Amino acid sequence: MLSAAAGNVRTGAKGDRSRRSWRAHVVPLCFVAPAALLLGIWLIYPVLYTVVRSFFDRSGEHWIGVGNYVELFTSDFLVTAIKNNALWVAVVPAVVTAFGLILAVLTERISWGTAFRLVVFMPMAISLFTAGVIWRLVYEKEPDRGALNAVIAAGQETLRPAGKLAEAVPSTSAVREQPAGGLALAKSLSPGDVALLGLTQIPTSEVPKGGVDAVRPSSLSSGVTGVVWRDFRPGGGAPGRVERGELGLGTVAVELRDERGQMISETTTEIDGTFAFEQVPRGSYVVSIAAQNFERPFEGIAWLGASLITPAIMIAYTWVWTGFALVVIAAGLAVLPRELLEAARLDGASESQVLRHITVPLLAPVLTAVFVTMLINVLKVFDVVLAIAPGSVQDDANVIALAMWRTAFGGKNDFGLASAIAVLLLVLVLPSLFLNMRRFRRQA
């Protein structure tokens, strides 16, 4: 009887253990099951379906194997997207991380550092598409519309103002263009000669207000005289002759040079267009209208053109994400052991040496986190490119995510090729995700 009772006890103990083991496995599964189900529906199934769909043609009815993947690396449209994404990966994560580190270090000891970080972080409060629209306006070519070109135009107008005769051309073949700029008489002059410098194609808006009729000046036996005038009057006229109704061009810079091109003298025309070089030694001279009179006004840099569109978008993207890098790195900087930094300074280390040999190594985990995050983000960049790049240059600014969207929904409706692009993007992002997972496990 004792052996039977002992057997019953052992059987009951095994049953309790099995029930506890069952509960230990089933109860967590009950909590995980809803999330796993949704994860399978919204993530795993779409990924698997996209991989399978990438081996079919546009219609999805015919198996074409790796045909879509071959087109990925042979189509100019997609090769440009891959090259641009490689450029993004090589430049933007490093630049954003570097800017964040520099700004975090510079604002660490100033009293208004928090306010500065808040201002730099503010672009993160708006969507990337909205940021793209803002920068699209900033990059407009016309200086009266684009903020960036307006700033450049203001600086150029201060340093090199536009000439008054930017649109002017010679009215006759007697006046020719000079290789170094400006217009000059085709023949040489001597003291006592008169230089007639007629110009045309001068817009009415560029004609000086309050101008008077041009006058042919009298000759000087010991000097060279001349006139610069608008060689045009309503109703016609003879080119090269100063006639009534043709306006003189005042305040025009005129130069007198010898036959070797050396400057002898310079002057400015009167209100009636006349000028004079007095007391000129005997010899042959060339009279010219100075090149600065023909300086064209600043017409704007084509930031949205094919050659600059990708760097322009990178600048906008860096502007948005620098605040994120600044805040994260500043938080890591705040918990660094100050005794190490102060000890290095007491030992005579300069601030740059402290930054390179102490601060950066201690911040390595934080800098890695920022860099990897930016690496994943630039691989998926889409909306800011779509917002900034005009339709005419979207092929030049193309990136992988935008190429996928344009191939599937932008008019091509080729879901087979779009699926192959999506798979390529997934393959490129996975290494960065694995790096993040390993970093999280080490920290845990």
The DSSP line for 296-345 is PPP----TTSTTTHHHHHHHHHHHHHHHHHHHHHHHHHHTS-HHHHHHHH
Summarize pLDDT for 198-234 with one digit per residue, the tens. 998 887 777 767 778 888 898 888 899 999 999 887 7
- Secondary structure (DSSP) of 259-304: TT--EEEEEE--TTSEEEE-SPPSS-EEEEE-GGGGPPPP----TT
Q: Which range has the worst mean pLDDT, 21-30, 250-259, 262-271, 419-428?
A: 21-30
Checking if the pLDDT of 411 tops 80, the result is no
pLDDT at 9: 44
Q: How far apart are CA 169 and CA 149, in angstroms?
A: 28
- 148-166 residue pLDDT tens: 888 888 887 776 777 778 8
Whether the CB-CB separation of 185 and 224 falls below 8 Å is answered with no
Model pLDDT, residue 87: 95
Given the structure tokens 């393959």, which residue do they identify?
427
Q: Bridge partners of 224?
A: 277
Q: What is the mean pLDDT of the chain?
A: 86
CATH number of 67-152+304-443: 1.10.3720.10
Q: Where are the domains of the chain?
A: 67-152+304-443, 169-294
> pLDDT tens-digit profile of 352-382?
888 888 888 889 889 988 999 999 999 989 9
Given this model, what pLDDT does residue 19 score?
64
Q: How confident is the model at residue 13 (pLDDT cuts 50, 70, 90)?
A: low
CATH fit for domain 169-294, picks 3.30.70, 3.30.420, 2.60.40, 1.10.101 = 2.60.40
Residue 238's contacts (CB-CB under 8 Å, 6 or more residues apart) are none
Task: Sort 98 into a burial class: Cβ within 10 Å, 0-12 / 13-18 / 19+.
Answer: middle
Residue 74: CA count within 13 A, CB half-sphere: 7
Predicted structure pTM score = 0.75
Element (H, E) at 131: helix 128-138
If residue 89 lies in a helix (H) or strand (E), which one and from where to where? helix 76-106
Length of the chain measured in residues: 444
Q: How far is the CA of 247 from the CAs of 167, 169, 295, 334, in angstroms?
A: 16, 16, 21, 72
Contact 171, 232 (CB under 8 A): yes
pLDDT in the model for residue 367: 92
**Tens digits of residue pLDDT in 166-188:** 888 898 888 998 877 889 988 88
- Residue 18 main-chain phi, psi, to 5 deg: -65, -40
Per-residue burial over 48-57, b if 16 or more Cβ lie within 10 Å, else e, is: eebeebbbbe
Asked if residues 248 and 212 have their Cβ atoms less than 8 Å apart, the reply is yes
Which residue(s) pair with 230 in the sheet? Answer: 199
- The reported pLDDT for the residue numbered 156 is 75
**pLDDT at res. 300:** 80
Q: Do 229 and 198 meet the contact criterion of CB atoms below 8 Å apart? A: yes
C-alpha separations of 74 from 119, 316, 380, 403 in Å: 45, 30, 22, 14
Q: How far apart are CA 32 and CA 44, in angstroms?
A: 16
- The CA-to-CA distance between both ends of the chain, in Å, stands at 55
